[in-house]
Amino acid sequence: MPRISIYDDNDSFRHTIALIIELSDGLELVGSHPDATRVLETVQVERPEVVLMDIEMPSRTGIEAVALLQQLTSPPKVLMLTAYEDTENVFAAIETGAVGYLLKKTPAEKIIESIDEVLQGGAAMSPSIALKVLGAFRKPKQKITYDLTPKEIEVLHRLVEGDSYKLIAHHCQISISTVQTHIMRIYEKLQVNSKGEAINKALRENVIQLSR
């Protein structure tokens, strides 16, 4: 039977979650703690498969506790259960090793489903948290300029478009020798040695984009 431990400094909420676990078929509550001060010791004694972890607790935050648990040879799966829904806490929890992130307003049956999900190797998230995570990945990549001047960016753009030195000179209204000077400076700033390398890096790192 899967063993579950709870860490939450809100006594009323912790007791409610403990009761939900105890009344659920197929789950065993092995620990209920008001803080994570001794999380390493208690986890090694209780040997839970899943830990329900709050974030804001006295002495040690839930995120700090998750990081500590990763030191164990076989750390339990940690499912954050918290009122915090800001992306900073969400990503901090995931980066330190949490496999799920639920809000405290999550219905009891969904909490039980989420425990089962992480036991089966999945990741559980409240819908609003999942949307925040997806939104973070959908943000457009910021352009890297490499301190290129406006004229160098214009020359690089024409280079990416496939223009010859003569056409670049025509479009940018500069001499061919000036085009060559700009291109040499572009190579230096991008730390490349050829036109092909410059084009590949410019496109790969979003320095410039094709207009057609």
What domains appear along the chain, each with residue ranges and CATH number? 3-138 (3.40.50.2300), 150-204 (1.10.10.10)
Range from 67-71, 201-205, 208-212 that averages highest in pLDDT: 67-71
pTM, 2 dp: 0.66
CA distance 69 to 58: 17
Computed over every residue of the chain, the mean pLDDT equals 90
pLDDT of 189 strictly over 50: yes
pLDDT of 143 strictly over 80: no
Q: What residues contact residue 67 under an 8 Å CB cut-off, 6+ apart?
A: 96, 97
Residue 124 pLDDT: 92
Contact 119, 50 (CB under 8 A): yes
3-state secondary structure of 199: helix
Residue 212 pLDDT class (50, 70, 90 cuts) = very low
Contact 137, 116 (CB under 8 A): no
pLDDT of 128 strictly over 60: yes
pLDDT of 23 strictly over 70: yes
